[in-house]
Amino acid sequence: MLRPLPFFWFMLTKLPSITFWNIRIKQLGKNGCQTILPFTWRTQNPFRSVYFATLAGAAELASGALCMLHLTGKKEYSMLVTDFEATFSKKATGTVSMTCEDGPLLLQTLEKLEKPGDVQTLRMAVTGTNENGDVIGNFAVTWSFKRKG
């Protein structure tokens, strides 16, 4: 279980925009992660919808938190976003939920990192939905993982 204060300080110091936008992790487990992005003055653009950068941040966090969970206790690994794609299908005008369910694929990818210097990449799918469950966008975050010595 995440302890609130250390987690808050981690988010504030390492991911300040996520803290400013008030993006929250709703669920996090070995199979997937779900983040929640509220519709507030901080996340709204001049067109009365959610600003695309906040959607991208929530999508990256959904995949990145899942990666960090799988790498917990394994200090010999590094991770980096190497590509990001987004397709928007509906205007986001309320609270948005981002879901990544690529935990099993991530585990398979990390198992391929057998010796120091090995590098693997994984394109992780994230789906954004509105409060009604309608898909507002699909995101692909490509993570690169390297096993350190």
User: DSSP secondary structure string, the chain?
Assistant: ---HHHHHHHHHHH-HHHHHHT-EEEEE-SS-EEEEE--STTTB-TTSSB-HHHHHHHHHHHHHHHHHHHHTT-TTEEEEEEEEEEEE-S---S-EEEEE--HHHHHHHHHT--STT-EEEEEEEEEEE-TTS-EEEEEEEEEEEEE--
**Fold observed for domain 4-147:** Thiol Ester Dehydrase; Chain A (3.10.129)
Q: What does the pLDDT profile of the chain (149 residues) look like in tens digits?
A: 455 545 555 666 667 788 888 899 999 999 999 999 999 998 898 999 998 999 999 999 999 999 999 998 877 889 999 999 999 999 999 999 999 999 999 999 999 998 899 999 999 999 999 999 999 999 999 999 999 87
pTM for the complete prediction? 0.88
